[in-house]
Chain A
Amino acid sequence: MDYVKLINCMRCGMCLPVCPTYKETFFETASPRGRVALVKKVHEGELDQSERMLEYLSLCLDCQACASACPCGVNAGELVAEFTCERKSESGLGFMENLILRKLVPHPDRLETSMTPMRLYQNSGLQKLVRTLGILKIFPKPLGRMEGLLPPLPAKPLRQEIEEVTSAVGAERGTVGFFLGCVMSLIFSDASRATIKLLSKLGYRVITPRNQVCCGAPNMLGGDLEGLNEASRTNIDIFAGYQLDFIVTDCGGCGAELKNYAHHSTDESAAAFSAKVRDISQVLALHSDELRAVLKPLNRKVTYHDPCHIAHCQGIRKEPRNLLTLVPGLQYRELESADACCGSAGTYNICKPEMSDRILQRKLDTVRASGAEILVTSNPGCLLQLKKGLANQLPEVTLMHLTELLTLSMSQ
Chain B
Amino acid sequence: MQPSFINDLKCIVGEQYTLTDRESLAVYGYDSTPEQESQPGVVLLPGSRDEMASILNLCHGSGISVTPRGSGTNLSGGSLSTNSGVILQTSRLNRIIEVDEENLTATVEPGVITSTLHREVESRGLFYPPDPGSMNISTMGGNVAENSGGLRGLKYGVTADYVMGLETLLADGDLLRTGGKVVKDVAGYSLNPLLVSSEGTLGIFSAITVKLIPKPQGKITMLAHFPVLQDAALAVSAIIAAKVIPATLEFLDKVTIKCVENYARVGLPLDVDAVLLIEVDGHPVVIAEEAAAVANICKKTRCSFFQTAQNAAEALKLTEARRTALSALARLKPTTILEDATVPRSCIAAMLKVIQDSAKKYNVIIGTFGHAGDGNLHPTCLADERDKDEIMRAHAAFGEIFEAAIAMGGTITGEHGVGLAKKKYLPRLVGESGIRVMRGIKNAFDPKGILNPGKIF
**A residues touching B (Cβ–Cβ < 8 Å)?**
4, 7-8, 10-14, 16-17, 26-29, 31, 34, 37-38, 41, 46-47, 50, 52-53, 56, 70-73
B91 in the interface (beta carbon within 8 A): yes
Given contacts A8-B334, A14-B324, A72-B331, contact A29 B32 (CB under 8 A): no
Q: How far is the CA of A52 from the CA of B260 in the complex (A)?
A: 37
B327 within 8 A of A: yes
Is the beta-carbon distance between B331 and A73 smaller than 8 angstroms? yes
Question: What residue in chain B is nearest A28 (Cβ atoms)?
Answer: B27
A139 to B48, CA, bound (A): 40
Question: Known: A71-B263, A71-B324. Contact between A11 and B32, CB under 8 A?
Answer: yes
B237 contacts A by Cβ under 8 Å:
no
By CB atoms of chain B within 10 A, which of A10, A16, A53 has the most? A10
Q: In the complex, are the beta carbons of B137 and A16 less than 8 A apart?
A: yes
Best-surrounded residue of A4, A11, A38, A71 (most CB of chain B within 10 A): A71
Residue of B nearest to A74 (CB): B330
Question: Beyond A10-B335, A11-B31, A26-B92, is A50–B23 a contact (Cβ under 8 Å)?
Answer: yes
Beyond A17-B113, A17-B137, is A10–B23 a contact (Cβ under 8 Å)?
no
Are B26 and A8 neighbours in the complex by a CB distance under 8 Å?
no
Question: Counting CB contacts under 8 A, is B134 at the interface?
Answer: yes
Partner of A14, one of B26, B27, B43, B137: B137
Q: Is the beta-carbon distance between A56 and B335 smaller than 8 angstroms?
A: no
Q: Taking CB as reference atom, which chain A residue is nearest B21?
A: A52
Rounded to whole Å, the gap between the CB of B208 and the closest CB of chain A is 19
Chain A nearest CB: distance from B156 CB in Å? 23
Is the Cβ of B327 less than 8 Å from the Cβ of A14? yes
CB distance B34 to A7 under 8 Å?
no
Name the residue on A nearest B34 (C-beta): A10
Across the interface, do A52 and B23 meet the contact criterion of CB distance under 8 Å? yes
Among candidates A29, A31, A72, residue contacting B23 with C-beta atoms closer than 8 Å = A29
Q: Is the Cβ of A53 less than 8 Å from the Cβ of B263?
A: no
Chain A residue nearest to B94 (CB atoms) is A26
14 extra interface residue pairs, beta carbon distance < 8 Å, beyond A28-B27, A56-B23, A72-B330: A8-B330, A10-B34, A10-B327, A10-B334, A12-B73, A14-B136, A17-B136, A17-B137, A26-B92, A28-B43, A31-B27, A37-B26, A37-B27, A72-B327
In the bound complex, do residue A38 and residue B23 qualify as a contact, i.e. CB atoms below 8 Å apart? yes
State A72–B382 Cα separation when bound (angstroms): 12
Q: Is the CB of B22 within 8 A of A12?
A: no
The residue that B89 contacts in the complex, of A13, A26, A47, A71, with Cβ under 8 A, is: A26
- Shortest CB-to-CB span from A152 to chain B, Å, is 39
Q: Measured between C-beta atoms, what is the minimum distance from A306 to chain B in Å?
A: 17
Interface residues of B (CB under 8 A from A): 19, 21-24, 26-28, 30-32, 34, 43, 45, 71-73, 89, 91-92, 113, 134, 136-137, 259-260, 263-264, 324, 326-331, 334-336, 385-386
Measured between beta carbons, the chain B residues less than 8 angstroms from A70 are: 327
Q: Which chain A residue shows the least CB distance to B24?
A: A29
Flag if A34 contacts B27 (CB, 8 Å).
yes
- Cβ contact within 8 Å between B27 and A38: yes
Assuming A10-B34, A71-B324, is B71 touching A47 (CB within 8 A)?
no
Of chain A, the residue at the smallest CB distance from B329 is: A72
- Please, which residues of chain B bring their CB within 8 A of the CB of A4? 334
B23, A71: Cβ atoms closer than 8 Å: no
Chain B proximity of A228: nearest CB distance (Å): 29
**Please, how many angstroms separate the alpha-carbon atoms of A210 and B22 in the complex?**
51
- A11: chain B residues at CB < 8 Å are 30-32, 72
Q: From residue B184, how far is it (CB to closest CB) to chain A in Å?
A: 37
Closest to B69 in A: A28
| Chain B residues, Cβ within 8 Å of A31 | 27
Contact present for B71 and A13 (CB under 8 Å): yes
Interface centre among A4, A28, A34, A38 (most CB of B within 10 A): A28
Which of A8, A13, A27 is B134 in contact with, Cβ under 8 Å?
A: A13
Q: How far is the CB of A87 from chain B (nearest CB, A)?
A: 15
Which residue of chain A lies nearest to B384 when distances are taken between CB atoms in the complex? A7
Q: How far is the CB of A9 from the nearest CB of chain B, in Å?
A: 8
State the 4 A-B residue pairs at the shortest beta-carbon distance, nearest first.
Answer: A71-B327, A72-B330, A26-B91, A71-B324
Which residue of the partner chain, among A27, A37, A41, A71, contacts B19 with CB atoms under 8 Å?
A27
What residue of chain B has the Cβ atom nearest to residue A10's Cβ? B330
Contact call A29/B263, Cβ cutoff below 8 A? no
Q: Which B residues are CB-close (under 8 A) to A14? A: 134, 136-137, 324, 327
Q: Are B72 and A71 in contact (CB under 8 A)?
A: no
Which of B330, B335, B336 counts the most A-chain CB atoms under 10 A from its CB? B330
In angstroms, Cα B101 to Cα A311, docked, is: 39
A26 to B111, CA, bound (A): 10
Establish whether residues A28 and B28, one from each chain, have CB atoms under 8 Å apart when the complex forms.
Answer: yes
B239 CB to closest chain A CB (Å) equals 28
- Hey, which chain B residues are within 8 Å of A34, CB to CB? 27
Question: Shortest Cβ distance from B219 into chain A, in angstroms?
Answer: 22
Q: Of the candidates A13, A17, A41, which one forms a contact with B26 in the assembled complex, judged by CB atoms under 8 Å apart?
A: A41
Tell me the complex Cα distance, A183–B336, Å: 45
A29: chain B residues within 8 A (beta carbon): 23-24, 27
Nearest residue in A to B22 (C-beta to C-beta)? A47
Given the complex of chains A and B, what is the CA–CA distance between A13 and B323 in angstroms? 12
Least distance between A8 CB and chain B CB atoms (Å): 5
Closest approach, in angstroms, between the C-beta of A73 and any C-beta of chain B? 6
Q: Please, which residues of chain B bring their CB within 8 A of the CB of A12?
A: 32, 73, 134, 326-327, 330
When distances are taken between beta carbons in the complex, the residues of chain A under 8 Å from B23 are 29, 38, 47, 50, 52-53, 56
B335 surroundings in chain A (CB, below 8 A): 7, 10
* Chain A hits for B73, CB < 8 A: 12-13
Give the docked Cα–Cα distance between A28 and B87 (Å): 12
- Whether B334 lies near A7 (C-beta < 8 A) is yes
In the assembled complex, 15 residue pairs joining A and B whose CB atoms fall closer than 8 Å, in A order, are A4-B334, A10-B334, A10-B335, A11-B31, A11-B32, A14-B134, A17-B113, A17-B137, A26-B89, A28-B28, A31-B27, A50-B23, A52-B23, A71-B324, A71-B328
Which partner residue on chain B sits nearest A14 by CB separation? Answer: B327
Q: Name the CB-closest residue of A to B74.
A: A13
For residue B260, which residues in chain A have a CB less than 8 angstroms away from its CB? Answer: 71
Tell me which residues across on chain A come within 8 A of B329, comparing CB atoms: 72
Cross-chain contact of A26 among B32, B45, B327 (Cβ < 8 A): B45
B27 partner residues in chain A, CB cutoff 8 A? 28-29, 31, 34, 37-38
Chain A nearest CB from B358 CB (Å) reads 22
In the complex with contacts A26-B92, A27-B19, A29-B24, A71-B330 CB distance below 8 A: yes
Who on chain A is nearest to B134 by CB?
Answer: A13
A47 engages B32 (CB within 8 Å): no
Q: Which residues of B contact A16 (CB under 8 A)?
A: 71, 137
Q: Residues of B contacting A56 with CB < 8 Å?
A: 23
Q: Are A38 and B71 in contact (CB under 8 A)?
A: no
